[in-house]
Amino acid sequence: MKAALEFCLVLLTLHSPGVLSLSTHVAIVYPQDPVLRMGSNLTASCWIHPDLGLHANSLFWTLNGQQLPGSLYKVLSPTNLSLTLVGLNASRQTSGDNLVCHNHKGHILAGSCLYVGMPPEKPVNLTCWSRNTKDLTCSWAPGGRGETNISTQYRLKYKLRWYGTEKECEDYSHTQPYSCSITQDLHLFTPYEIWVEASNRLGRATSDIIILDILDVGE
Ligand SMILES: *[C@@H]1O[C@H](CO)[C@@H](O)[C@H](O)[C@H]1NC(C)=O
Ligand SMILES: *[C@@H]1O[C@H](CO)[C@@H](O)[C@H](O)[C@H]1NC(C)=O
Ligand SMILES: *[C@@H]1O[C@H](CO)[C@@H](O)[C@H](O)[C@H]1NC(C)=O
Ligand SMILES: *[C@@H]1O[C@H](CO)[C@@H](O)[C@H](O)[C@H]1NC(C)=O
Ligand SMILES: *[C@@H]1O[C@H](CO)[C@@H](O)[C@H](O)[C@H]1NC(C)=O
């Protein structure tokens, strides 16, 4: 079970035993793959096809493989069982948390991936330096408490002050996180405006803009 938890979607696309094939839509968890803020509440429901001959009160829920207590369930109808989670914690893994609805034997009927995190905060401490005026490397730190398990993209953007068009740095460091090098078409004698944009599925945030002249940041 442990290994499967690392990949939310993989677990759910595994073939369920016997008649419980996903292709026939025997059951469905709603909502599918929601993106939620930490601390928020979620009410999910597991609907089962009447032909399965199961009753909603025989089902149970797991979150990341851990069975959730029946006190969180509500039988809405013989074919619909809801679950209410209060004060969601950050996802344990960026691939999402596994919320799964099981029959009484433990077989997986349906599932959903929960992505719980926070919108990015304003990136901070943006600094840039140039080794030989042919490149410009910038690094920054994610703002606030950093990333909260829903993947966040950082884009370093720049433009020549006054008349430049906005460009995006493309050479992100593979070895150092939060770092990017601009290696082409650098202009001397004209200051650059440089900033970082952070975004994830809950929101976006932009750093302060720094203004620098390549000749002033040589090492
Ligand atoms: C979540 O549910 C709890 C308990 O029902 C309630 O006190 C709280 O206000 C809810 N939070 C949000 C963000 O709706
Ligand atoms: C199950 O109940 C929930 C909550 O009332 C509802 O939103 C959902 O549509 C129901 N699902 C089905 C398939 O009837
Ligand atoms: C959040 O984590 C705490 C501590 O591990 C746990 O007691 C609580 O049930 C979790 N809340 C949810 C909604 O999973
Ligand atoms: C940003 O820089 C300040 C001053 O050097 C430092 O105190 C702070 O820890 C840095 N913040 C991060 C998130 O690295
Ligand atoms: C996910 O969040 C938990 C705390 O909620 C933290 O302990 C863990 O390191 C985070 N994992 C990743 C991959 O960010």
CATH number for the segment(s) 3-117: 2.60.40.10
Q: Answer whether 62 contacts ligand 3 (Cβ < 6 A).
A: no
- pTM, full prediction: 0.78
Categorize the per-residue pLDDT at 5 as very low, low, confident or very high, splitting at 50, 70 and 90: very low
Say if residue 1's pLDDT is above 50: no
The CB-based long-range contact list for 177-181 (8 Å cut-off, 24+ gap) reads 178/123, 178/139, 178/140, 178/141, 178/142, 178/154, 179/137, 179/138, 179/139, 179/140, 180/137, 180/138, 180/139, 180/156, 181/135, 181/136, 181/137, 181/138
Q: Answer whether 85 contacts ligand 3 (Cβ < 6 A).
A: yes
Domain-wise residue ranges, the chain: 3-117, 124-216
Categorize the per-residue pLDDT at 120 as very low, low, confident or very high, splitting at 50, 70 and 90: very high
| Ligand 3 pocket test, candidate residues 37, 62, 88, 89, most atoms within 8 A of CB | 89
Q: What is the pLDDT of residues 13-43, one digit of tens each?
A: 444 444 444 445 789 999 999 999 999 999 9
Say if residue 46's pLDDT is above 90: yes
In this structure, which CATH number among 3.40.50.300, 2.60.40.10, 3.40.47.10, 1.10.1370.30 belongs to the domain 124-216?
A: 2.60.40.10
Q: What is the pLDDT of residues 130-188, one digit of tens each?
A: 988 888 999 999 988 777 788 899 999 999 998 889 999 999 988 888 999 998 888 88
Q: Rounded CA gap, 167 and 184, in Å? A: 11
User: Fold match between 3-117 and 124-216?
Assistant: yes
More confident position, 125 or 187: 125
Q: Give the chain's end-to-end CA distance (angstroms, integer).
A: 52
Q: Answer whether 149 contacts ligand 5 (Cβ < 6 A).
A: yes
What separation in Å is there between the alpha carbon of 178 and the centre of ligand 4?
14
What separation in Å is there between the alpha carbon of 66 and the centre of ligand 3?
11
